[in-house]
Amino acid sequence: MKDVVIACVGKPSAGKSSFLNAVTDASAKVGNYPFTTIKPNNGIAYFPIECPCKRFGKTKLCAPRYGRCIEGKRFVPIQILDVAGLVPGASEGQGLGNQFLDDLRHANALIHVVDVSGTTDANGKETIGYDPIGDIEWLRSEIHSWIYGNLDKRWSQIVRRHIAIKASTAETMHTQLSGYGATLLLVQRSLDRSGVKESMDTWDKETVRKVVDAFLDERFPTVIALNKIDLPDSDKNISKIMRKYGQSKVVLTSALAETFLRKLAKQKFIVYDEGTDNVQTKEDLPDSDLKFLDEKLQNRIEKVQDLVLYRYGSTGVQDVILKAVEVLGLVPAFPVKSLTTFANANGKGVFRDCVLLWPGTTVLEFADIVHPEIAKHYLGAETIGNRKIGEDDIITLENNIICFKTSQATHSSVAGTASASGSGAGQGGPSKK
Ligand SMILES: Nc1nc2c(ncn2[C@@H]2O[C@H](COP(=O)(O)OP(=O)(O)OP(=O)(O)O)[C@@H](O)[C@H]2O)c(=O)[nH]1
Ligand SMILES: [Mg+2]
């Protein structure tokens, strides 16, 4: 079972590695020159959801296997991938070219990190006054060209085979696109989205482009992170980009500010409530074990507060992950062995496992994700109030606390073994993606 992976993409020096370091414990190399990153880096980020322990008065007993839960705010793990920068012409081999694009095959969603400060040009070199508004389009068009180019160079062969074996359009396109981690269902959804109904042998280049465009939307849902909002020119670029793209997929971030605040919190100079503008120092908490700040550090904190926290409400990095989870439509689900104690099979802890599911995952599919033995010996399932739910019922936020009944006692460690990071959703999983 593969975990959900969210990949940071963007031109060199946009701040992808800084973003990864800001949201995970990774320590990827950061540099103010293009192609600091060559090989992908990854790490686990924790994003907050409302934990059911609060609703059921179990906050004291709540014991997540992965991540943590603070008074009902549960931090769920998700994998973040940071790849090499992409430059215009990458699909034709410019920069690090296709090698970078290949790394995207593992990603479920993309975070496009844009340097909104205008201090780096299209190739990631230092400059001043660069207008980043075009970056959003060309990055997408590079990914488009990569996929389209691979189809175009073999198109006549693809169509000949399609006719010879009398395959459906979805089947043929699936054969061609499965290398990008697409299921048949996802390809079918892409075809529906494209509105293309003509038979494949009549498709011209424009039609293929249209299908690839729809495929990109389905396969790589993207959140745009306008990064470096702490720098002076960002303001005017932000309003321009917001006017063009709206607010639904755009988040304002300062990876630098987040890294700085987390580091100070780790070193016990401040208490920092991640995802908020709440920073407390020894002055605010005189009885705490916080260290005293010197004037220089105090000034730097105030600068981050003035330029980022008070202006935008937070550094934005956590919002980016939340938005990516939202665009993927992931549903957190909790397998429990008892609907009264909410403990798992070992009787250990409460709401121990939280599994992220693709939208449309059924109860039986969830059973299989928790453990194939549960699906094999499946008798039924119940949710809160001992309400029975059918094996084909779709899991939503209304029925996501589930107790499975099996015909045979499953191994004691079975319920809630899900997958390593606690994320069940994945392209390889039995889910609908
Ligand atoms: N002011 C400011 N600088 C930032 C921010 N995020 C990153 N930087 C700086 O931007 C430069 C590039 O950062 P990286 O994280 O290495 O960028 P990258 O996108 O990973 O670059 P490549 O690996 O070369 O593709 C570094 O000097 C960072 O310190 C930010 O939010 N604000
Ligand atoms: Mg990098």
Residues 336 and 391 in one domain: yes
Does the CB atom of residue 41 touch ligand 1 within 6 A?
no
Residue nearest to atom 27 of ligand 1 (CA): 32
| Whether the predicted pLDDT of 96 surpasses 90 | no
Strand, helix or coil at 408? coil
Does the CB atom of residue 114 touch ligand 1 within 6 A?
no
pLDDT averaged over the chain?
A: 91
Is residue 302 in a domain?
A: yes
Ligand 2 center to residue 116 CA distance, Å? 16
Mutate-to-test residue for ligand 1 from 11, 13, 111, highest number of ligand atoms within 8 A of CB:
13
Q: How far apart are CA 345 and CA 410, in angstroms?
A: 9
Average pLDDT on 69-92 reads 90
Neighbours of ion ligand 2 (CB under 5 A): 16-17, 36-37
Q: Considering only CA atoms, which of 382, 388, 387 is closest in space to residue 403?
A: 382
Kindly give the number of the ligand 1 atom that is closest to the alpha carbon of 32.
27
Q: Where are the alpha helices (DSSP H) in 126-196?
A: 135-152, 155-164, 169-177, 184-194
Is residue 56 in a domain?
A: no
Residues 344 and 298 in one domain: no
Is residue 42 in a domain?
A: no
418 pLDDT band, cuts 50/70/90, is: very low
Is residue 35 in a domain?
A: no
Q: Which of 194-203, 258-267, 322-331, 402-411 has the lowest mean pLDDT?
A: 402-411
Q: What is the CATH number of the domain that holds 341?
A: 3.10.20.30
13 pLDDT band, cuts 50/70/90, is: very high
Residues 303 and 346 in one domain: no
Q: Considering only CA atoms, which of 135, 393, 375, 145 is closest in space to residue 244?
A: 135
Kindly give the number of the ligand 1 atom that is closest to the alpha carbon of 124.
24
Q: How far apart are CA 299 and CA 293, in angstroms?
A: 10
pLDDT at 427 (0 to 100):
37
Residues 344 and 291 in one domain: no
Which two three-digit tokens encode residue 204? 């011209």
Average pLDDT on 391-398 reads 97
Average pLDDT on 96-106 reads 77
pLDDT at 409 (0 to 100):
67
Q: Considering only CA atoms, which of 350, 344, 330, 332 is closest in space to residue 403?
A: 344
Is residue 135 in a domain?
A: no
Residues 352 and 297 in one domain: no
Ligand 2 center to residue 170 CA distance, Å? 37
Does the CB atom of residue 35 touch ligand 1 within 6 A?
yes
Dihedrals phi, psi of 247, to nearest 5 degrees: -100, -10
Helices 155-164 & 169-177 angle (0-180, nearest 10): 140
423 pLDDT band, cuts 50/70/90, is: very low
| Whether the predicted pLDDT of 413 surpasses 70 | no
Mutate-to-test residue for ligand 1 from 30, 114, 117, highest number of ligand atoms within 8 A of CB:
30
Burial label for 225, CB within 10 Å (0-12, 13-18, 19+), is: buried
pLDDT at 131 (0 to 100):
94
Ligand 1 center to residue 215 CA distance, Å? 30
Q: In percent, how much of the chain has pLDDT > 90?
A: 80
**Closest ligand (CA of 308):** 1
pLDDT at 48 (0 to 100):
94
Does the CB atom of residue 254 touch ligand 1 within 6 A?
yes
Is residue 350 in a domain?
A: yes
User: For 249-282, how does the pLDDT look when each residue is reduced to its tens digit (9 = 90+)?
Assistant: 899 999 999 999 999 999 999 999 999 999 999 9
pLDDT at 97 (0 to 100):
66
Does the CB atom of residue 332 touch ligand 1 within 6 A?
no
Ligand 2 center to residue 322 CA distance, Å? 22
Residues 334 and 400 in one domain: yes
Average pLDDT on 101-108 reads 86
Q: Considering only CA atoms, which of 231, 423, 238 is closest in space to residue 324?
A: 423
pLDDT at 250 (0 to 100):
94
- The tally of domains found in the chain comes to 2
Spatial contact of 141 and 159, defined as CB atoms under 8 Å apart: no
Is residue 267 in a domain?
A: yes
- Residue 295's domain comprises 260-314
Number of residues that make up the chain: 433
Residues 300 and 334 in one domain: no
pLDDT at 302 (0 to 100):
97
Q: In percent, how much of the chain has pLDDT > 70?
A: 92
Does the CB atom of residue 18 touch ligand 1 within 6 A?
yes
106 pLDDT band, cuts 50/70/90, is: confident
Where residue 89 falls (left for φ over 0; alpha for ψ -120 to 50; beta otherwise) is left
User: For 339-356, how does the pLDDT look when each residue is reduced to its tens digit (9 = 90+)?
Assistant: 999 987 666 789 999 999
421 pLDDT band, cuts 50/70/90, is: very low
88 pLDDT band, cuts 50/70/90, is: confident
> What are the residues facing 279 on neighbouring strands?
272
Residues 379 and 343 in one domain: yes
| Whether the predicted pLDDT of 433 surpasses 60 | no
Does the CB atom of residue 27 touch ligand 1 within 6 A?
no
Residues 304 and 337 in one domain: no
Is residue 97 in a domain?
A: no
Kindly give the number of the ligand 1 atom that is closest to the alpha carbon of 84.
25
Residue nearest to atom 21 of ligand 1 (CA): 13
pLDDT at 246 (0 to 100):
84
Ligand 1 center to residue 114 CA distance, Å? 10
User: For 197-227, how does the pLDDT look when each residue is reduced to its tens digit (9 = 90+)?
Assistant: 999 999 999 999 999 999 999 999 999 999 9
Residues 335 and 399 in one domain: yes
Does the CB atom of residue 301 touch ligand 1 within 6 A?
no
User: For 112-141, how does the pLDDT look when each residue is reduced to its tens digit (9 = 90+)?
Assistant: 999 999 999 999 999 999 999 999 998 899
pLDDT at 262 (0 to 100):
96
Ligand 1 center to residue 49 CA distance, Å? 28
Average pLDDT on 352-370 reads 95
Residues 304 and 364 in one domain: no
